[in-house]
Amino acid sequence: MSRRRLGILELGNFSTRYYLGRIEELTTDVSIDVFKHKMDFSTINAHLPSDFDRLKPLLSGGLSALNHCDVGIIPNITLHETFDRLEPSSTRVSLAHAVHESVRSLSTAKVSHAAILGSAYTSKSPYWSDALESQNISQIKLDCDTVEHADAFRRKVYHGIETPEEIATFQAEVIRLTLRKPLILACTELSLYAPQVPGVLFDCTSIQIETAIARLHT
């Protein structure tokens, strides 16, 4: 039986370490190889979230290095909007798409409405609302203070300066939000401290990784 390959783009150190750690936790099958392709994330990050003319060739070049893999992962939620703008012929790898798979999970769970918590850009972007509407799911807008506090916490996690008190405050806020509505966590930094709220909290990072590993076994 041939070994299955999971390809991942190495982007920011934080997100790459987190994704690889989660993959290691969930991958006990020794017939699976993880292939990593190093990217110049400082250049990519300078053009995030929406300088698509610069981002598209950078992402396309990285994904082409995963063409020999059975499944690919982009460990950055925001970059999936760039991926959707690529020509289909620019990559051959089957991608575990964080946004599409998360929306599909909500649809399977028969969720009719949900809020999105991520970066300030993600929380307000029509990209997510359009993805939800494609599955007849309505987006509930969060108030500005909630979005700004989550974005500030995200930045602290990215720089590794979050405090235990800030972590506890964030987790309490997520639980409070899920008491009123299903919630999508659409940011890797926020995923690191996601509380367990089954059925109403949909963590994009976990959904993406679990989908990729499931595909390797089909």
Provide the pLDDT for residue 185: 96
Give the mean model confidence (pLDDT) for residues 180-185.
94
Q: What is the mean pLDDT of the chain?
A: 93
Least confident of 38-47, 89-98, 184-193: 89-98
β-partners of residue 202 are 184
Examine the domain organization and report whether 63 and 152 are in the same domain: no
Examine the domain organization and report whether 107 and 45 are in the same domain: no
Residue pLDDT, tens place only, 108-138: 999 999 999 999 999 888 999 999 999 999 9
Residue 52: domain span? 4-97+207-216
Number of alpha carbons in the 13 Å side-chain half-sphere of residue 109? 19
Residue length, the chain?
A: 218
User: Does an H or E element contain 71, and which?
Assistant: strand 71-73
State the Cα–Cα distance between residues 29 and 4, nearest whole angstrom. 10
Examine the domain organization and report whether 82 and 110 are in the same domain: no
The DSSP result for 21-62, as a single string, is HHHHHH---TTEEEEEEE--HHHHHHHTTT-HHHHHHHHHHH
Structure tokens at 98: 């964080």
State the Cα–Cα distance between residues 205 and 6, nearest whole angstrom. 15
Examine the domain organization and report whether 32 and 120 are in the same domain: no
**Which pTM does this prediction carry?**
0.92
Residue pLDDT, tens place only, 24-72: 888 876 678 999 999 999 999 999 999 999 999 999 999 999 999 999 9
Q: What's the domain count of the chain?
A: 2
